[in-house]
């Protein structure tokens, strides 16, 4: 059973690679995983937001979880994203992913219904009680309009089956309050490429990062510096990535990512409705920026 201590390092949030029938391209998936493992990742997050969870057919979500487990082959945790709006669908998804061998589920706060803090607390406690695998909390208020108060996260962190969270709240003071009060058996992972070294300095143990799918070695270097307490070095390395990150998130993720994924030998750029391909000008600029880093930091992979 996965523990909070194993939630450490770089976990790319990976895009779901599909063919013209919106079915997963298994060859492309294996090619991507080969690239990531050579780049020094510590685990992986399939079928989350970057994986277009809401646009995938349920059967394809399950298949992507299975392929991810097979491709990782025990070299690191597979944490499946669960982005359903309600308890029963979320619990069903967790059970289906557990049956495919995933190590944990990253469960999004229940959006649209606009629950109270008491409702959020009850939701995660009930889900953790029933889940056959460990649960991580996914807080991303700029997407869901649901923020979890630090005191609620402190309480949830003491449930034995809730082992961590992906923190995407852009409020650094909120982050500091969360880290200050969570259990020792609970790991906070940064979910923001843009804030990663700051989150590490403030107590994160690693990150679930979007652009690590393209540049695993660059993010490995930032993590290694931050984990060793070389914060100035981590910030300097991270600063070099800012133009790339601005382009990666200029349109809805993973549009820009998929438009340049052929640069790492993966040919599966198709987006799932309602998302569409990145604008050509954006894709061109992003391609040039990613290429520059591939030459500098990833060429030997």
Q: Which of 123, 138, 205, 258 is catalytic?
A: 138
Q: Residue 288: which region, alpha, beta or left (left: phi > 0; alpha: psi -120 to 50)?
A: alpha
pLDDT score of 234: 98
In the predicted model, what is the mean pLDDT of residues 281-298?
Answer: 91
Q: Is the pLDDT of residue 301 over 60?
A: no
Q: What average pLDDT does this structure show over 133-149?
A: 97
- pLDDT value of position 176: 98
Model confidence pLDDT, tens digit, residues 181-224: 999 999 999 999 999 999 999 999 999 999 999 999 999 999 99
Query: What is the model's pLDDT at position 211?
Result: 98
- Indicate whether 299 pLDDT > 70: no
Answer whether 13's CB lies under 8 Å from 49's CB: yes
pLDDT for residue 57:
96
CA 110 from chain center: how many Å?
A: 17
Q: What is the mean pLDDT of residues 259-264?
A: 96
* Residues contacting 144, CB < 8 A, separation 6+: 108, 109, 111
Mean pLDDT, the chain, integer = 96
Rounded to whole angstroms, the Cα distance separating 174 from 235 reads 21
CATH number at residue 193: 3.20.20.70
Q: Name the catalytic one among 53, 123, 166, 258.
A: 166
Active site residue 258: no
Q: What are the tens digits of pLDDT across the range 66-105?
A: 999 999 999 999 999 999 999 999 999 999 999 999 999 9
Domain count of the fold of the chain: 1
Res 298: pLDDT: 64
Q: Which domain holds residue 217?
A: 4-298
Q: State yes or no: pLDDT of 300 exceeds 70.
A: no
**Backbone phi and psi for residue 164, each to the nearest 5 degrees, phi listed first:** 180, -170
* Residue partners of 14: CB distance under 8 A and separation at least 6: 32, 36, 44, 45, 46, 50, 51, 68, 213
| pLDDT tens column, 10-65 | 999 999 999 999 999 999 999 999 999 999 999 999 999 999 999 999 999 999 99
Residue 296's pLDDT is 79
The percentage of the chain sitting over the pLDDT mark of 90, rounded to a whole number, equals: 97
Q: What is the pLDDT of residue 297?
A: 73
Is 166 annotated as catalytic? yes
């Amino acid at each position: 059973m996965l523990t909070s201590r194993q939630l450490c390092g770089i976990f790319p949030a990976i895009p779901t690679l599909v063919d013209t029938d919106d079915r997963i391209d298994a060859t492309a998936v294996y090619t991507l995983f080969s690239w990531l493992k050579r780049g020094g990742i510590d685990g992986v997050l399939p079928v989350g937001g970057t994986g277009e969870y809401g646009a995938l057919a349920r059967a394809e979500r399950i298949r992507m979880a299975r392929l991810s487990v097979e491709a990782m082959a025990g070299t690191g945790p597979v944490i499946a994203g669960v982005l359903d709006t309600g308890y029963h669908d979320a619990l069903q998804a967790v059970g289906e992913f557990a049956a495919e061998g995933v190590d944990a589920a990253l469960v999004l706060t229940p959006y649209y219904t606009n629950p109270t803090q008491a409702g959020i607390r009850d939701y995660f406690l009930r889900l953790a009680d029933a889940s056959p695998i460990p649960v991580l909390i996914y807080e991303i208020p700029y997407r869901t309009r649901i923020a979890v108060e630090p005191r609620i996260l402190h309480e949830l962190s003491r449930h034995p089956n809730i082992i961590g969270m992906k923190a995407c709240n852009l409020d650094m003071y909120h982050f500091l309050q969360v880290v200050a009060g969570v259990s020792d058996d609970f790991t906070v992972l940064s979910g923001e490429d843009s804030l990663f070294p700051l989150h590490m300095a403030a107590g994160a143990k690693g990150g679930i990062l979007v652009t690590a799918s393209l540049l695993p070695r660059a993010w490995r270097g930032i993590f290694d510096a931050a984990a060793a307490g070389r914060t100035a070095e981590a910030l300097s390395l991270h600063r070099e990535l800012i133009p790339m990150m601005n382009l990666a998130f200029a349109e809805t993720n993973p549009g820009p990512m998929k438009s340049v994924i052929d640069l790492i030998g993966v040919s599966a750029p198709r987006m799932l409705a309602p998302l569409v391909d990145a604008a050509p000008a954006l894709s061109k600029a992003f391609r040039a920026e990613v290429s520059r880093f591939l030459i500098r930091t990833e060429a030997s992979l």
